[in-house]
Amino acid sequence: MAGSIIPSPHGNRLVDRFVVSDKKNMQDMYTLQVSKELRNDIENIADGIFSPLEGFVGEDDFQSIVKRGRLNNGIAWTVPIILDIDEREACELKDAGEIALVAEGEGEENSNEKFAILHVEEVYSFDKIACAKSIYQTDDIKHPGVEKMVNMKDWLVGGKIDVVKRIEQSSLRKYRMTPAETRTEISRKGWKSVVGFQTRNVPHVAHEMLQKAALNLYDGLLLNPLIGKKKKGDFKDELILSTYLALIDSYYPKQRVMFVTLHTDMRYAGPKEAIHHAIMRKNFGCSHFIVGRDHAGVGNYYHPFAAHEIFKDYPDLEIEPLFFPAFYYCKKCLMFSNERNCAHGQEFREELSGTNMRKMVSSGEMPANHLMRPEVAKIIVSFKEPFV
């Protein structure tokens, strides 16, 4: 592929930590229960989405991530992938060697199934407030990331993982792919450049126009919504999935778009999470990544352009951030414009605000066709309880 700018995986090696299970061996192991969210991230490690991580970080990497946004070996990494345990577990795990992981269930049959092995390398304590201040740039308990961190157990266990059993296939997981799979597909399509687009929203025409503006310049588009725990008021995963599928079906050139879900939680870490999001898309094979205004932000914790500025600290990232200004419909330009190319004032702009969207949901009133595609709006209006 002459001229291709598809980057190598982060750290130059795609991690694969799936193994054929040795069930007999696992039966005798110490067992640790993890949350469903953590099971998703464990599968992400095994799939190489978090390459070069092969497991939960140890203390040196943890301290290095918190202090300078890099792994101990200097590779860019901004959000620590950690497994918290309580004091009793810390004592028991310290010399346990290999342990088995089970996921908490919601009553499904295989909830107690041992799905992975953790090779315990170290157990250590951590300073939650210092970590929160570094990752979230605040220790305000009202920040959802800080709240989660403060409520974590007091100890961390680091070590490589091996996954023996994937999470069951479901309608929500039908569109997940591993980086090995997306990279194969990118190469099959012959794309030499790919733009990653992160979303946790239903698509407005403004989003579509922004994505298509990127398609004017690059070969392929990886639409990559985040499926996982979100905050109250966000749209539900099922809705994000079905509206995007409807939009792609009616309005996108199929040979230029890939739709892949990413199963991990929003952390609302603003600029640090923008880097984390870019690293995951680099592993999927993206050469470019669209970074929004206040990317991965929440409330007023981050400056709207902090998520752009931070990329200056990572010239070695090997995935290029694209800072598109937000698009809006301009009644003077008679098209979707943005602050970079439109000369007209606020009074000519048409946008679908959060308030508009909630009104649409409560009254069932369809928004104007040029702001939201009717195929998309219909799905939202007919969806029972669209918000988390």
Peptide bond just before 52 cis, omega within 30 deg? yes
Nearer to Zn ion, 128 or 349 (CB): 349
Nearer to Zn ion, 238 or 350 (CB): 350
Q: How far is the CB of 292 from Zn ion (least distance, A)?
A: 21
How far is the CA of 281 from the CAs of 7, 39, 187, 288, 290, in angstroms?
A: 10, 20, 15, 8, 10
Cα distance between residue 365 and residue 356, in whole Å: 10
Active site residue 199: yes
Nearer to Zn ion, 19 or 343 (CB): 343
Active site residue 39: no
Q: How far is the CB of 277 from Zn ion (least distance, A)?
A: 30
68, 70, 173, 200: which one is catalytic? 200
- Bridge partners (DSSP) of residue 123 are 157
Total number of residues shown for the chain? 388
Q: How far is the CB of 294 from Zn ion (least distance, A)?
A: 23
100: how many CB neighbours lie within 10 A of its CB?
Answer: 20
Q: Which helix (H) or strand (E) holds 247?
A: helix 237-251
40, 182, 199, 283: which one is catalytic? 199
Active site residue 201: yes
Q: Give burial (CB, 10 Å; 0-12/13-18/19+) of 4.
A: middle
Residue that has been written with the tokens 């059993």 in this structure: 165
Q: How far is the CB of 205 from Zn ion (least distance, A)?
A: 16
44, 201, 243, 283: which one is catalytic? 201
For residue 6 the two structure tokens come to: 């598809």
Nearer to Zn ion, 85 or 330 (CB): 330
Using DSSP, state whether 294 is helix, strand or coil: coil
Q: CB-side exposure of 232: number of CA atoms within 13 Å?
A: 2
Q: How far is the CB of 361 from Zn ion (least distance, A)?
A: 29
**Per-residue b/e over 301-319, b at no fewer than 16 CB within 10 Å?**
bbeeebbbebbeebeebbb
Q: How far is the CB of 348 from Zn ion (least distance, A)?
A: 6
Nearer to Zn ion, 174 or 332 (CB): 332
Nearer to Zn ion, 139 or 350 (CB): 350
353: how many CB neighbours lie within 10 A of its CB?
Answer: 8
Q: Give burial (CB, 10 Å; 0-12/13-18/19+) of 382.
A: exposed
Q: How far is the CB of 360 from Zn ion (least distance, A)?
A: 25
Q: How far is the CB of 209 from Zn ion (least distance, A)?
A: 13
List interacting residues with Zn ion (CB under 5 A): 330, 332-333, 337, 342, 344
Instruction: List own/partner pairs for 176-181 with CB under 8 A and 24 or more apart.
Output: 176/227, 176/260, 176/261, 176/262, 176/263, 177/260, 177/284, 178/47, 178/48, 178/49, 179/9, 179/14, 179/47, 179/48, 179/49, 179/51, 179/283, 179/284, 179/285, 180/14, 180/16, 180/47, 180/48
* Residue 306 amino acid letter: A
Nearer to Zn ion, 79 or 206 (CB): 206
Nearer to Zn ion, 231 or 332 (CB): 332
The catalytic site residues sit at 199-201
